[in-house]
């Protein structure tokens, strides 16, 4: 028989008042909107971030490796390996051995990867606009400022801290 705890012993909590609950819900919504806007590409938000981070590397600078990519976008190295596997299987990224260390695999966009980025960016931008649309235009920059402040201040608490400054 299950003993029912009297209501006086059960703590109540308004989930809507908890920032963690709200952030989790917003992340679910953000992914859903992104997938709706980019459905034709079959690209996920994490795959987009990986492709864009590789594309953002200066052509004259050093190529990016898998570990650095993981730090840039805040993913653990085992998760990012699967993401790269899927992008490579689709012909969007390629791995090349580093001339300095044959154990290190450098990442490069393929021509198909560049074309995919060009195709996905308009939908990604629409998704960002939809995510912020409920806020008055005058509050959007402030929301983004506060969001960046929270992420930066709590970055080291993440299972996979990002390192955008690389």
Residue 165 domain-assigned?
no
Dist. CA 87–CA 60, nearest whole Å: 23
Domain at 139, CATH number:
1.10.10.10
pLDDT band per the 50, 70, 90 thresholds, residue 147: very high
Task: Return the higher-pLDDT residue of 47 and 4.
Answer: 47
Residue 19 domain-assigned?
no
Give residue-wise pLDDT tens across range 78-103: 899 999 999 999 999 999 888 888 88
Residue 54 domain-assigned?
yes
Residue corresponding to tokens 């308009």: 122
Give the model's pLDDT for residue 47: 97
SS3 call for 91: coil
Residue 95 domain-assigned?
yes
Which residue segment(s) compose the domain that 60 sits in? 35-157
Dist. CA 46–CA 34, nearest whole Å: 11
Give residue-wise pLDDT tens across range 49-72: 999 999 999 887 778 999 999 999
Residue 136 domain-assigned?
yes
Residue 79 domain-assigned?
yes
The total domain count for the chain is: 1
Residue 7 domain-assigned?
no
Residue 62 domain-assigned?
yes
Residue 138 makes CB contacts below 8 A (sequence gap 6+) with none
């Amino acid at each position: 028989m299950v003993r029912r705890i009297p209501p006086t012993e059960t703590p109540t909590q308004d989930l809507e008042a908890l920032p963690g609950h709200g952030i989790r819900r917003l992340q679910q919504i953000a992914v859903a909107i992104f997938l709706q806007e980019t459905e034709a590409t079959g690209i996920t938000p994490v795959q987009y971030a990986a492709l864009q981070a590789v594309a953002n590397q200066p052509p004259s600078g050093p190529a990016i490796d898998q570990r650095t990519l993981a730090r840039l976008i805040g993913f653990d190295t085992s998760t990012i390996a699967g993401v790269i596997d899927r992008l490579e299987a689709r012909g969007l990224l390629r791995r090349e051995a580093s001339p300095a260390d044959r154990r290190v695999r450098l990442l490069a966009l393929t021509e198909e990867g560049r074309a995919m980025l060009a195709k996905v960016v308009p939908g990604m931008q629409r998704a960002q606009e939809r995510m912020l649309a409920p806020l008055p235009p005058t509050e959007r920059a402030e929301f983004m400022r506060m969001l960046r402040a929270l992420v930066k201040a709590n970055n080291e608490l993440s299972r996979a801290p990002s390192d955008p400054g690389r």
